[in-house]
Structure 1
């Protein structure tokens, strides 16, 4: 006894999946990669902030907002 096969409701696209990505889906990761690569290759260009750490500033700001 043979089993029936169900036909596809849509014909399959010939050139691949047929899904197109927006331009930024490739541009943003590429830009991030290039930026990080440049920072690794030339660390003297990166500027570290001096003074209190950002986490301490963030906690202080959160306490001010909660005190209102």
Structure 2
């Protein structure tokens, strides 16, 4: 006797889109963003030739681009 398959208890509507991501698909970009943000905020022992901070320069460029 063949085994019966059980249908899903809830099926999405035909017009809707169901997206299911694994946990790492959200965690990896978040970790990468956090690591890059830490590199910008606290660059460690790296010293630039100019006296401005990286965050200050970034904000300056954003303001320049927005006011053009």
Pairwise TM-score range, normalised by the shorter structure: 0.3 to 0.5
- Output the TM-score relative to the length of structure 1: 0.42
Q: Max radius of gyration: which structure?
A: 1
- Output the TM-score relative to the length of structure 2: 0.42
